[in-house]
Amino acid sequence: MNNWKAENAYNKKLGSIFPPSYPNEMLVKICSSKKYSDISKRLFLKKKIKVCELGCLSGNNIRFFLDKGWKVYGVEINKELKELSRKNLSRMKIKFSNVKIGHNEKIPYKSNFFDLLVSINTIHYSYGNKLNKALFEVSRVLNKDGLAIIETPSNKHDAIKNSIKKSENHWIWKWGGFRQNSIMGFFDNKAKLKRKLKNFFSEVEINERSEIYKNIKLYWFVAICKK
């Protein structure tokens, strides 16, 4: 999205002082427990993990990966957001600049390069046939038996409830803000998400997580996929 700017990374009106600086809770669980998933337990068989976050934004998940001692890479959509991750991590005394400019449909790394690719609330910025291209790219950069962790809003999320479906994976955002009238590649149920992912991955598990903030209901699908 061309209108993604650093100022959209967090909402000062809701009291945020800094961009997101703590990792996604579900991501921490998946990457920290052998018992959490039959698919993700493969991560614990390797001593060194090469991980890429697609849409790393302020570096909150990168911070977690670095703490684990993994080899970390990132992708962001423009120079401004690339700089946001560097600045926010620098604020926390973490030096990190291994971020390349790219997007869902053009991940700027060679094929079979990563053990793990993480996409948190990013994949749905591709829609229709572009979503197929994005998922192909995720699979392409993973090595044999590589894993992807993909989070996207579920049908219970207020963003979807307040958007208009035009066709499969083609929704018009009507929830206000800088995304207003943007086209989004949402899924209206878990079964459709799993069928789509199975076109690109040999194994797929889908979990769900939620957050309730005042009257705002936030629900997500969290897919764990094996190439």
Indicate whether 154 pLDDT > 60.
Answer: yes
Between CA 174 and CA 176 the distance in angstroms is: 6
Q: What is the pLDDT of residue 112?
A: 98
For 209, the domain range is 6-151+189-214
Between CA 194 and CA 186 the distance in angstroms is: 13
Q: Are 182 and 113 in contact (CB under 8 A)?
A: no
Tokens of 94: 């973490």
pTM for the complete prediction?
A: 0.94
**What is the pLDDT confidence band of residue 36, given thresholds at 50, 70 and 90?**
confident
> Roughly how many angstroms between the first and final C-alpha of the chain, as a whole number?
27
Q: Are 205 and 145 in contact (CB under 8 A)?
A: no
**Residue 157 maps to a domain:** no
**Residue 94 maps to a domain:** yes
- pLDDT tens-digit readout, 112-146: 999 999 999 999 999 999 999 999 999 999 999 99
Q: Domain tally for the chain? A: 1
**Residue 18 maps to a domain:** yes
CATH of the domain at 49: 3.40.50.150
**Residue 178 maps to a domain:** no
**Residue 48 maps to a domain:** yes
Between 1-15, 17-31, 118-132, 143-157, the lowest mean confidence (pLDDT) is in: 1-15
Mean pLDDT of 62-78: 97
